[in-house]
Structure 1
Amino acid sequence: MIVLSVGGSLINPGEPDLAYLHKIAESLRHNRGLGIIAVTGGGKPARTYAEAIRKLGGNEFKADETAILSTRQNAHLLTAAIGRKDGHVIVPQDFDEAARAALSGRIVVMGGTIPGLTTDADAALIAEKLHAERIVNLSNVDGIYDSDPRKNKGAKKYKNMSFGQMVQLALRSDERTAGTHFIFDMFACKIIARSRIETHFVNGKNMLDVENAMRGKAHGGTVVKG
């Protein structure tokens, strides 16, 4: 069993990226035999709606609830792209439902679960629950850097990283507010650290790296273990 955390900005950077959905769905179908659960983020719509809730006077709990709806919309998009033959047709709403769905042998896609948890945390928890062999994090960045490579051209990329190093990096960037972006939040890092779940970070649009990471092979991203 492997768990993918699929960045919402890959699926919906402003509108659904149908070409990408077809590509990632094909990759998941090709690797169905690994046993796959994918957790989708919310992307730009989640951030837009969360910010609108705040401007309308809603609190962070309500902003989280609204962002979760966007993650589930993206899950429905990916489920549709995978198709009924290979994918579980219902998007699970919680971890127990996801665990039951995994028994079908089909690819399971879910979004967020409860306010306060990012979809990275959801991915870490379902991986822990099901004793997943590894987590693969797909984003628009090709690994973990010591600072944001989109803002700092001199950012250092890690090829390998320990769980402890990852927790420290997450502590520097975790804001714990709906719709904010960081490579992997602190709570998720602590979950994978306590259960020592090998975690791979790759650019989600590099399909060769995605498939290699799913299979535990060498790739151009970052591997966290040990």
Structure 2
Amino acid sequence: MDTVVVKVTGKIFDDQEALRRFVDVVRELARERRVVVVAGGGRVAREAIEKAKSLGVSSNYWLDEIGIEASRLNALILVASLQPFSYPGVPRTLGEVMHGLAYSRVVVLGGLVPGQSTAAVLLEVAEAVGAREVYDLSATDYVYDKDPRTSPDARPLKVVQASKLAEWLKAGQVPGDYALLDLRALDIAARSRITIKIASYKNPGNLIEMMRGGNPGSTIIPE
């Protein structure tokens, strides 16, 4: 049975209609496929991290742990919403993801370890299950060559090579807080030949379009 691996931005949890449509899409997919969803932390993570900072927490380890737990709370919302298809728990390791897939059509997780983005988790899961393509329902509709929030001349890229995007990241041409993918995620994509497709979370139907070969956002090819 095919396994669909998708990441969804934490921002979707602040958009009730988009979240409801996403749940409907995953339910439909789960009738014929296995689905792994990686949930971002979004506002819950940001607010919790800021609260910790206000109390004097400066260790990135603890701030990352707080963000991970926030993403797991969002994951638990999806677990509950996707019953009876979903595995009744939020995995904390890749081994638990694989265990969950042996028993359920849908497995939902958040972050795994400090210092690792949910984009890297997405690619690690794909590598573990043998998926050759992953889908990222992102807060941004495309990959841009610059930060579109600060650069009016930023160009959307329909297709970009993972190696080229990695070069931009290393050179600081794409700001880290904007970049949809980190170097760890791109390294995994390159070594396991995994294609990454990115589109806006505001239309969860983009997931179906991407699975059918469409490109409503950007495609990152592992070259």
Superposition TM-score, scaled by structure 2 size = 0.89
**Aligned residues of 2:64 and 2:114 also touching (Cα < 8 A):** yes
8 Å CA contact 2:135, 2:196 repeated in 1 = yes
Root-mean-square deviation (CA), in Å? 1.8
For residue 72 of structure 1, what is the aligned residue in structure 2? 72
| Secondary structure of the corresponding residue to residue 199 of structure 1 | strand
Deviations 1:70-125, CA, capped at 9 Å, x for gaps: 1001101112222x222222111111001111122411110111111111111111
Q: Tell me the secondary structure at the aligned position of residue 37 of structure 1.
A: strand
Task: State how far apart, in whole Å, the 1-side matches of 2:103 and 2:191 are.
Answer: 28
Alpha-carbon distance in 2 for matches of 1:206, 1:157: 18
Partner of 2:196: 199
Give the equivalent residue in structure 2 for 1:41.
40
2:91 equivalent in structure 1: 92
Give the whole-Å Cα distance in 1 for the aligned partners of 2:139 and 2:106. 23
Give, in whole Å, the separation in 1 of the partners of 2:72 and 2:219.
Answer: 28
* Structure 1 position 25 matched with structure 2 position 27: no
1:161–1:155 distance in 2 versus 1, CA, 3 Å: same
Partner SS state of residue 68, structure 1? helix
AA aligned opposite 2:196 = T
Residue 181 of structure 1: how far off its partner (Å)? 5.0
Gaps of 5+ in 1: none
Whether 1:219 and 2:221 are equivalent positions in the alignment is: no
Measure the CA separation in 2 of the matches of 1:106 and 1:23.
18
State the shift of 1:160 in Å.
Answer: 0.9
**Offset at 1:216?**
4.2
Counterpart residue identity of residue 28, structure 1: V
Q: Tell me if structure 2 keeps the 8 A contact 1:95–1:126.
A: yes
For structure 2, the residue ranges without an aligned partner over 5 or more in a row are none
Show the counterpart of 1:134.
Answer: 133
Contact 1:113 1:122 in 2 (8 A): yes
- Relative to structure 1, the CA distance from residue 74 to residue 94 in structure 2 (aligned partners, 3 Å threshold; closer, same or farther) is same
For residues 202 and 159 of structure 2, the distance between their equivalents in structure 1, rounded to whole angstroms, comes to 21
Does structure 1 residue 5 correspond to structure 2 residue 1? Answer: no
- Who is 2:161 aligned against? 162
Q: Deviations over 1:119-173 (max 9, x none)?
A: 1111111111111131101112112011122333321111111121121233334
Contact 2:18 2:203 in 1 (8 A): no
Distance verdict in 2 for CA 1:199–1:61, change over 3 Å: same
